Structure 1
Amino acid sequence: MEEIVRILKACEEESCSCVIATIVEVAGSAYRREGARCVILENGEVKGILSGGCIEEDLKEHAAKVFATGLPRRLYYDFRAGDDEVWGLGIGCNGAVGIWLELYDPARFPEQARRMSEDYRRRLSARLPYVAVTVLSSSDPLAHPVGERWTASEELSAEAGELRELREGQKAGRVKVAKDGAELELLVEHVRPAAELVIVGAGEDARILCEMAKQLGWRVGILYHATDKASRQQFPHADELMIIPRLAYEQADVAGKSVVVMTHNLELDREAVRQLLRANPAYLGLVGSKYRLEQILSYIRKADPGFEDSLLEKLYSPAGLDIGAETPQEIALSILAEAAACRSGQSGGFLRDRKGLGRRFQAHGQSQGQLQEPSHV
């Protein structure tokens, strides 16, 4: 989302346009799910991927017509017959995807561009979850034009019935509703705030973890006491430097956030674990050996008789998934993967062992690149 916002800002400054391609429906196996996006520039360059590069070339051909007409387009790619080589794309997935192409052109369509840029900026800066709704088709384009957007809390949308057709656990999808007397087809998306990571530490491994988390689009704060190490020079990519008095971890707000303790100082680590577990983090990873963990837990139980063992459910130590990590970069990768799995409520196991259910692909077009023109714009 951060890259999309940067591209839209550049288009506005340079008075140029782009096409945003969004997956609005998926059936069976697909490289990415509903809500995934890529951007197609006027020169044909594609920023981001929807299919691992399998359909992007075809998307560019259709995007050229969107640039020319200004009208959105709907495409369907269906490879469930198991013979996708007939299209010369080799998508390698036994599934189908529906993709919506929408023009962003601040020069020709300034109001439409303003709505789009506001939508994506809000998604990027959101600190609370909400639901984003985009009109894909409408029986009353005067009242609800294609491309219209609005937002709502998840509770309000559920009450209005806008989410009932999404399968359990689905973060985005296409639904049909009646609103103000109009029949609308909507793309409904659960927008979650960017993952937030608090790193307790100021060493080189903390810097690497910070940089890798930022590459994932996470918000990162560095939590440490005042030293030369906890500086902007050491952490230029951090969103926030949270400088506290030494051992005063109770001052930090980590509720609902992922926390990684990696000071490599026994006194600092054990106090960080003891105090921050009480602050209800979503995940608390402690870097170190199991022997070190036993030392820390032994200290906590002696120093804090009121400490409840149930709090340890949020503690992961040694931190990280078991990927055989050796280098600081590999260790950071394993930690971020574990934190992401906990945030999503997943086990972090092999995808090949995961069992999933597809759903019927409700689309009029069934072949590669088949086009459905919008009935109302």
Structure 2
Amino acid sequence: MQAIYNEIIRCKSHGLEGVLGTIISTRGSTYQKTGAKCFIAGDGQLTGLVSGGCVEGDLKEIAFEVIESGQPRIVHYNFQDEGDLLWGLGLGCNGKMNILLEPYSPIRDLSKSVQIENWFKLGLSKTIHSITITGAGNPDLIGSKWIVDPETREYNHIPYKEIINDYLSTMDTGLTCSLVQIEGNNGFQVFYDTISPSPRIAIFGAGPDAVPLAQMAQKIKWNVTVLDHRPAFVNQTNFPEADELICYKPGTTPKVRLDENTYVVIMSHHFSQDQIMLKEVLDSDAAYIGLLGPRKRTYQLCDGMDINNHPNLYKIHSPIGLDIGSVTPEEIALSIIAEISMIYRDGTGNKLSKGAFQFPYKEDEQLSRV
């Protein structure tokens, strides 16, 4: 979400309008899922994707119409069977999706634009919800939006009790992104959305093998912190795009935030320093602790640390990474990023294909996500 927020601020500073696009529902196989976003600036600049790049060209044309009208719009795409051909896109993705397009116009609708800005700004540091009316008996209500902090649960600014009650009942069921129909006099259709800070990878060790790991983490839009006690290693020359570089004294632990959104990799190749860092990280709220090297070395690191039955032992991953046959530093980095992404996204690490591919298609064959 950092990239979209940056683009919104760019448009604001240059006096440009734009359109925020959000997938509010999907059915079948689609490249992106509910909640995926893009931002189309008035000068045609596209940030983010709501497909594999297939519908964005079409969305741009519609976005310019939304900017002109100043009214939100829901766009329907059907790529199932003959529906795909109706759009003339020939994608064959075998799915459907609905995309909400919301105008961003600081000149014509300052309050709505500020609301969108603030939502993304808050989402850089904490999980934040939005509630948007996407359907109503009164069409003038479509596009009405409210921002809610799930920690404070302050919702008095929402004027409709049926929306408040439904939101509160839905939030405790693990709300992420969902389109709901609320029964009542107003006949509301509402989209609940959630944005959260990008996860952060903290790399303890700035050797040459940490460089491709930091680069790959940046490619997937994670925040990257690199820490080392060797100033010749942890510097902007080696890590020009890292969000944070920390050099600390040997034998000490650096001051760094290790919360539940932080994924730690320990790879300094310095035994005593790795041991100090492991103890520090194990006592933190970090979501993941990966150690480079064989498991025997990890056991040796744990010796004498008095961590028997430590409640966070399950967070340790050793050897780090998925088994993809990695050999080079770049392949090892890919293996590490793959495992961390799997943990973050609650994946399985299994192949998406089930057995050998067979043709012709059998009705009982379960096709994986494309």
Same fold, TM-score > 0.5, yes or no: yes
What's the CA shift for 1:9? 1.5
| TM-score normalised by the chain length of structure 1 | 0.80
- 1:194 is aligned to 198
- Measured against aligned partners, the alpha-carbon deviations of 1:289-325 in whole angstroms (never above 9, x if no partner) come to x2xx303313523x23443376432121221122233
Counterpart mapping for 1:341-352 below 5 A: 341-352=342-353
- 1:327 is aligned to 328
How far apart are the structure 2 equivalents of 1:61 and 1:253? 43
How far apart are the structure 2 equivalents of 1:217 and 1:105? 27
What's the CA shift for 1:116? 1.5
CA contact (8 A) 1:162 1:177 kept: no
Q: Secondary structure at the residue paired with 1:238?
A: coil
Q: Secondary structure at the residue paired with 2:167?
A: coil
How far apart are the structure 1 equivalents of 2:254 and 2:83? 59
Counterpart mapping for 1:290-305 below 5 A: 290=294, 293-301=295-303, 303-305=304-306
- 2:274 is aligned to 269
- 1:135 is aligned to 133
For 2:145, the aligned partner's letter is: E
Question: Which residues of structure 2 form unaligned runs of 5+?
Answer: 156-162, 356-365
How far apart are the structure 2 equivalents of 1:299 and 1:40? 50
CA contact (8 A) 1:23 1:37 kept: yes
For 1:315, the aligned partner's letter is: I
Q: Note closer, same or farther for the CA distance 1:195–1:176 as it changes in structure 2 (3 Å cut).
A: same
CA contact (8 A) 1:38 1:48 kept: yes
Counting aligned pairs with the same residue, the percent is 30
- 1:313 is aligned to 314
CA contact (8 A) 1:55 1:91 kept: no
CA contact (8 A) 1:138 1:146 kept: no
Q: Secondary structure at the residue paired with 1:352?
A: coil
How far apart are the structure 2 equivalents of 1:164 and 1:94? 33
- 2:14 is aligned to 14
How far apart are the structure 2 equivalents of 1:238 and 1:16? 30
- 1:59 is aligned to 59
Q: Secondary structure at the residue paired with 2:75?
A: strand
CA contact (8 A) 1:72 1:102 kept: yes
For 2:320, the aligned partner's letter is: A
What's the CA shift for 1:224? 2.6
- Measured against aligned partners, the alpha-carbon deviations of 1:170-225 in whole angstroms (never above 9, x if no partner) come to 7312123479x755332212323220211101222223322322232222222333
How far apart are the structure 2 equivalents of 1:54 and 1:163? 36
What's the CA shift for 1:260? 0.2
CA contact (8 A) 1:166 1:172 kept: no
Q: Note closer, same or farther for the CA distance 1:169–1:205 as it changes in structure 2 (3 Å cut).
A: farther
- 2:289 is aligned to 284
- 2:188 is aligned to 184
- 2:251 is aligned to 247
Q: Note closer, same or farther for the CA distance 1:321–1:170 as it changes in structure 2 (3 Å cut).
A: farther
- 1:153 is aligned to 150
- Measured against aligned partners, the alpha-carbon deviations of 1:263-301 in whole angstroms (never above 9, x if no partner) come to 02223223333442233421111112x2xx303313523
How far apart are the structure 2 equivalents of 1:149 and 1:265? 50
Q: 203-212 or 2-11: which moved more? A: 203-212
Q: Secondary structure at the residue paired with 1:259?
A: strand
Question: Which residues of structure 1 form unaligned runs of 5+?
Answer: 359-377
Give the aligned CA root-mean-square deviation in angstroms.
3.4
CA contact (8 A) 1:19 1:67 kept: yes
- 2:360 is aligned to none
Counterpart mapping for 1:355-374 below 5 A: none
- 2:361 is aligned to none
Q: 259-268 or 273-282: which moved more? A: 273-282
How far apart are the structure 2 equivalents of 1:20 and 1:253? 32
How many pairs does the alignment contain? Answer: 350
| TM-score normalised by the chain length of structure 2 | 0.81
- Greater relative contact order structure (CA < 8 Å, 6+ sep): 1
For 1:318, the aligned partner's letter is: P
CA contact (8 A) 1:32 1:51 kept: yes
CA contact (8 A) 2:214 2:239 kept: yes
For 2:131, the aligned partner's letter is: V
Q: Secondary structure at the residue paired with 2:134?
A: strand
For 1:52, the aligned partner's letter is: G
Q: Secondary structure at the residue paired with 1:231?
A: coil
For 1:149, the aligned partner's letter is: W
What's the CA shift for 1:86? 4.4
Q: Note closer, same or farther for the CA distance 1:305–1:104 as it changes in structure 2 (3 Å cut).
A: closer
Q: Note closer, same or farther for the CA distance 1:148–1:274 as it changes in structure 2 (3 Å cut).
A: closer
What's the CA shift for 1:99? 0.9
Q: 225-234 or 24-33: which moved more? A: 225-234
Q: Secondary structure at the residue paired with 1:279?
A: coil
Answer yes or no: is 1:172 the counterpart of 2:177: yes
What's the CA shift for 1:242? 3.7
How far apart are the structure 2 equivalents of 1:268 and 1:91? 52
For 1:73, the aligned partner's letter is: R
1:219 to 223, 226, 244: 223
- 1:95 is aligned to 95
